[in-house]
Amino acid sequence: MAHEAVWAVITAMYEAYLRGDRPGIDRLLHPEATIWDSAEQVLITSREQLEKVRDARPQDGPAETGIGVHDEVVDVWGDTALARYLLRVDLAGSAPEIVRTTAVLRRSGDDGWLIVHLHENALP
């Protein structure tokens, strides 16, 4: 059951992304979450920094036509979970981008499972 709850957080994050729903994504992130974004060299350590990265993303690149998450491996140890999976980003006019992703989640009271760290690594 915990595996399904953790995986539901991961898939909900990408569903919110597809809707352009930043607050929906942010509700799934712990307030002090850290992120290694696949397109950034620095560790994102604050919401302010995350917003700057989001706002700086180019608008003139290939259009995303869809995303999918697959090949998940989820382990849960008490109130800590580790999810590993592949993220496929479909792009108009070019081959999909594959991003190897690891998420660390913590379960905390009324908030349920929240992502405390996300590490993305775009494959060549």
pTM metric for this prediction: 0.92
Q: Which residues of 8-41 are buried (b: 16+ CB within 10 A; e: fewer)?
A: ebbeebeebeeeeeeeebeebbbeebbbbbbebe
Question: Region 110-124: what's the mean pLDDT?
Answer: 94
Mean pLDDT of the chain: 94
CATH of domain 2-122: 3.10.450.50
3-state secondary structure at position 95: strand
- Tens of pLDDT along 79-104? 999 999 999 999 998 999 999 999 99
Burial of 88 (0-12, 13-18, 19+ CB in 10 A): middle
Specify the pLDDT at position 24. Answer: 97
For the chain, what are the domain ranges? Answer: 2-122
Q: Which helix (H) or strand (E) holds 20?
A: none
d(CA 69, CA 102): 12
Burial of 112 (0-12, 13-18, 19+ CB in 10 A): middle
Q: Are 72 and 62 in contact (CB under 8 A)?
A: no
